[in-house]
Amino acid sequence: MKKKRIFQAFWVVFFLFIGLAGALYLLHTKPKLKKRRFRPHPPLVKIIKVFPQSYQIKIEGFGTVYPLRTGQIVPEVSGKVVYVSPRLLVGGHFKRGEILLKIDPRDYEAALALAEAELEEARQQLAQLEAEAQAAKTEWYKILKQQTPPSPLVLKVPQLAAARARVSAAEAKVKKAALDLSRTEIKAPFDSMVVEVNVETGQYVSAGMVLGKIYDTSAVEVRIPLETKFLPWLDIPGLNASGSGSKALVFVRLEEEKKWIGRIVRAGAEADEKTRLLDLFVRVENPFQRPFPLLPGFFARVELLGKRFSQIFVLPRRALHLEDGRWIVWVVEDDRLKNREVEVLYFAKEEILVRKGLKPGDNVVLSRLNGPFPGMRVRIAP
């Protein structure tokens, strides 16, 4: 048993010696690697080559479409409705001056005839008194041969004044009767669309009763709440411009986005105390002269076309950086970075307008870099 253990230990030591010898041989015979100096790899950057150009500021807003004017169908005389236009329905169109409905005119025709008869009678009485006054004057001078002027009573001055007053009253009564007769026909005051109707043929209506509602179709307006910081870039009549306002493009999405052309016509009377937004009103003329009209109640997206600038640099917003309270951009010259302090004229939604700090042909860096510094070597992406 003892010999067996000695034999096993011998072989263990033998194999350990063989393994150690092989390892030493491999260590001494391995190829030596050449040492190389590490060279940093310049980062790859995207650039945009900039040149001065012309640019018009566009400000986006959203608002609701409203009619320019609304009105109510209200009779000024009472009576039975004898005619209602077949187009006097919700959504019906009328041109200015077209008849909406008629009230029975017979009572008013009779009143006009009576007033005209009273006027004729008053005129005859006045003519008779004038003739009597002239006869009294002739008699006073020629027959009685009086030298002093006759008294007002002899010349019927009070009676003539009363007769003339009756004629004036009768003329006014005729005008009032004719006006009431004309009011039995209710006409559209402007090109309009019917919103609401509350009248039928045969119905008795009273003066002042609301029979329906209409709105003006010659134009509509879009009310756009806008931040006050955008106001200086727009022409707003009555606020910062005396002429016409800035042009605007009105978009409404249906199956596809429809476009109308409008113009800023005025601003609201005051800014909202909570949001500090001021309403601008964009007017679109003749919104119904298209296959699909711009209807009140639509929600619209509006592009306000503001001031136009020339010789201005337009950059993506990601090219701008804030460093120690200064706006800077990185440019590449001879494969090295340089920072340029710039004067930003305007911040658009995705762009900025730079007025000073850049030169034509500058390679402005668009990529985000970790720890950039002036003189840093970079590679320009193809």
pLDDT at 157: 77
pLDDT at 30: 67
Statement to judge: residues 77 and 212 lie in one domain = yes
Tokens of 208: 């002042």
Residue 72 parent element (H or E): strand 70-73
Domain of 211, CATH number, reads: 2.40.50
Q: Which of 161, 157, 172, 156 is nearest to 119 (CA)?
A: 172
Statement to judge: residues 83 and 194 lie in one domain = yes
| N-terminal to C-terminal alpha carbon distance within the chain | 81
Domain count, the chain: 4
Domain of 249, CATH number, reads: 2.40.30.170
Statement to judge: residues 199 and 146 lie in one domain = no
pLDDT range class, residue 256, cuts 50, 70, 90: confident
User: Does residue 32 carry a pLDDT above 70?
Assistant: no
pLDDT at 2: 61
pLDDT at 153: 73
Find all residues with CB under 8 Å of 286, minimum gap 6, and list them: 218, 219
Q: Is residue 27 part of a domain?
A: no
Q: Which of 4, 47, 15, 122 is nearest to 364 (CA)?
A: 47
Statement to judge: residues 78 and 207 lie in one domain = yes
For residue 125, which phi and psi values (nearest 5 degrees)?
-60, -40
Q: Is residue 359 part of a domain?
A: yes
User: Other C-beta atoms within 10 Å of 300: how many?
Assistant: 25
Q: Is residue 266 part of a domain?
A: yes
pLDDT at 95: 94
**Last residue within a domain, chosen from 245, 274, 306:** 306
Statement to judge: residues 372 and 351 lie in one domain = yes
**d(Cα 179, Cα 80) in Å, to the nearest integer?**
18
Q: Which residue has the tokens 């042909």?
A: 361
Statement to judge: residues 374 and 356 lie in one domain = yes
Mean pLDDT, rounded, for 163-187: 93
**Last residue within a domain, chosen from 289, 306, 323:** 306
Statement to judge: residues 263 and 315 lie in one domain = no
Q: Is residue 36 part of a domain?
A: no
Statement to judge: residues 89 and 199 lie in one domain = yes
Q: Which of 301, 282, 285 is nearest to 237 (CA)?
A: 282
Q: Is residue 31 part of a domain?
A: no
Q: Is residue 150 part of a domain?
A: yes
pLDDT range class, residue 166, cuts 50, 70, 90: very high
Of the ranges 29-43, 85-99, 130-144, 358-372, the best mean pLDDT one? 85-99
Q: Which of 360, 321, 317 is nearest to 339 (CA)?
A: 321
Statement to judge: residues 194 and 78 lie in one domain = yes
User: Does residue 285 carry a pLDDT above 80?
Assistant: yes
> What are the pLDDT digits (tens) for 289-308?
877 899 999 999 999 999 99
> What are the pLDDT digits (tens) for 116-135?
999 999 999 888 888 877 77
Mean pLDDT, rounded, for 98-102: 95
Statement to judge: residues 118 and 171 lie in one domain = yes
Q: Is residue 341 part of a domain?
A: yes
User: Does residue 147 carry a pLDDT above 70?
Assistant: no
Domain of 337, CATH number, reads: 2.40.420.20
Q: Is residue 13 part of a domain?
A: no
Percent of the chain residues past pLDDT 70, beyond the cut? 90
**Last residue within a domain, chosen from 290, 306, 322:** 306
Domain that holds residue 246: 59-68+217-306
> What are the pLDDT digits (tens) for 194-243?
999 999 999 999 999 999 999 999 999 999 999 999 999 999 998 888 88
Statement to judge: residues 227 and 301 lie in one domain = yes
pLDDT range class, residue 12, cuts 50, 70, 90: low
User: Does residue 58 carry a pLDDT above 70?
Assistant: yes
Q: What is the pTM of this model?
A: 0.73
Statement to judge: residues 282 and 241 lie in one domain = yes
